Structures are given as structure tokens and as C-alpha cells.
Amino acid sequence: MIRQQLEQREKSILHPRATLSSESLGRVRPIEECSYRTVFQRDRDRILHSKAFRRLKHKTQVFMAPSNDHYRTRLTHTLEVSQIARTITRALGLNEDLTEAIALGHDLGHTPMGHAGERVLADIMEEGFHHAHQSLRVVDLLENHGAGLNLTREVRDGILLHSKGKGKLRQAHLPMTLEGQVVRISDAVAYINHDIDDALRAELLHEDDLPRQTLMVLGRTHSQRIQRMVEDIIFTTMQSDYAAILMSDEVNEATEELKTFMYNAVYPHPSIQVEFEKAYKIIKELYEYYQNHINSIEYSVTDASPQRQVCDYLAGMTDRYLLDQYHKIFLPKPWGM
């Protein structure tokens, strides 16, 4: 069988610390193996063909519902993470199919309107809300009308543990596989650099505003910084004998400083904050409306609580669908008589 040949090829060419598809911990529900794809290739394809993945193209990264086509969306962010992660994985001799599956699925649970959506749902929901947990809920339950995608444990673990937020890149609780750790660090490499690029394009920043010391370490241009980070991750990991996916102390410190700068200077920028507050208000009002009109939700997991159903529905919306629903529910229609 072709799958068995692919599995044998992994054993012969991948690094001893790589995760082999033939040794996967399996799925929640066992299924018949594919004749021509490994389990991780199959997971990647399931994610790529999911409705949640398609919706990422109309979900905000930082700039809400941007009219300029060159600003990132959740979909382009996901593709950039995948590219960076696959480059690192291939150089290290790890399992590229597993890395790609985790990378493509890591942000499926992100809300519309960027972090405004996540913040309002975290404030409202008693158990809180985090997009990584919602991403896992999407692949476990919400896709396929409640059946989920039934992914392998390794992919599910990488999706759940990919996020750092304001936390340090070096944390004790890491994904179980090196491939999951690659996605985790690649997510940071991607968003720090492309958010700088978008902020410069939006004229919220000038290059002279960026911390000078970090530029001396990482480089002055977008491509220089990504190349420096990626190269450092590859060789530092090799030097550690694959103990973990690591940056050197110098590059890690510069990366953390650049991330802190973005959280202090860009994400709370008045131009972004004004739109953030508008988005927060819209999502909060829609949440309250659907709580009182639960039957108007087009699709939900019916055995979940009403609060959870509303949360799932709102989290799955795209920016434009959210605004369409708000307009339909709260704004008067022109008189047509």
C-alpha cells in the first residue's frame, strides 16, 4: 500500500526525535486507514476542506474588516505560520505533514473582529473563552454537524497548546511533539513580524519607532527578521540535541522585547482601540439578543447550554456575517411601501 511505503520512508529519512505517523496515538474514534495517505496527511486534508478553515479569510487579524487587500487576515496569518513552520520542520528532519496539519488548524476557533471578539466572550462566559480551546472544540465537535473532524491526538494537542498570548516563548507546558512546538514558536515569529508590517503600512508606526537594539540583533527589514529567527531556531535546536524547539538567548530576548513593544505601542493604539470598542459593543449586544432568541441560531450543538450555543455561533462568524446580522437585527429597514 502507498501509505505503508510513506510510513517506511518516514522511518528511513526523518530524525529519531520526529513523530512517525505509523506510531500515532490514534483518534478518539478509530477509522479504517487510508490506502494512500498517512494519518497526519489525512488530518491536514480534513482541516483544509473544513468550513471553519474557509471562514478564516474573512476574520480579522489586527485591523478589522480592512478595505486594503494587503492587510493580513486570519487565513493569510495561518498560511504564513504554515510556511515558517514547514521550513523549520524540514530543516530539522521532523514530520512536515504533522506540522502542517497543526499549523492549518491552530486558529480555527478565533472569533470575528480579532481580539475584541475573544475579549467579550471571555468576559461573558463563566468558564471564560480562549481561541485555542475553541479551535479544539471546532475540530472535535462543531465541524460536520456535531461529528467533528476526528483528528489524531498529536494534531489536537498541537492545536490546543499553540498559543502564548503575552506569555513567554519559553514555557514549561509545551506541546507533546517537537512538531507542535515548531508551530507554537512559528506562530510568534509570524504574527510579530507581519503585525509590524501591517502597522507600518497603516502608518501607526515608523521604522524609527522600533526598538533599536532588537533591530541590531534581528534585522531592519521584515524578511531579515524572519530569516534571522528561523535560522536561529534551527541551529539552536540542533545544538541542544533536539531537547526542545529553542531560540538562542540573544534572539529570544530580542524577540520578547519586540513582542512587548507591539503589545504596548501597537495593539492598544487609539486608532485600533476605537474600532475595538465598537466591535466589543456589537458582539456583546448580539450575544444578549441570541440569549433571548436561542431558536434563531442557524446551527448549534443542541445538547450544549444556551450560553455555549450562543458562544459557538458568535465565535464561528466572519467579520462581515457578524456585521450583516447586527444590521439585520438592530437597524431599521428602509420603508418600502
pLDDT in tens, 150-175: 999 999 999 999 987 666 777 768 99
- Residue 332 — pLDDT band, cuts 50, 70, 90? confident
- Nearest CA among 170, 194, 219, 244 for reference residue 81: 194
CB distance 228 to 83 below 8 Å: no
pLDDT in tens, 298-315: 776 767 899 999 999 999
CB distance 314 to 125 below 8 Å: no
What's residue 279's pLDDT? 93
- Nearest CA among 188, 56, 165, 54 for reference residue 115: 165
Give me the percent of the chain exceeding a pLDDT of 70. Answer: 97
d(CA 189, CA 191): 6
- Nearest CA among 95, 104, 96, 166 for reference residue 130: 166
pLDDT at residue 33 is higher than 90:
yes
- Choosing among 3.30.1490.190, 3.40.190.80, 1.10.3210.10, 3.40.250.10, the CATH entry for 2-330 is 1.10.3210.10
pLDDT in tens, 80-129: 999 999 999 999 999 999 999 999 999 999 999 988 899 999 999 999 99
CB distance 157 to 135 below 8 Å: no
pLDDT at residue 224 is higher than 70:
yes
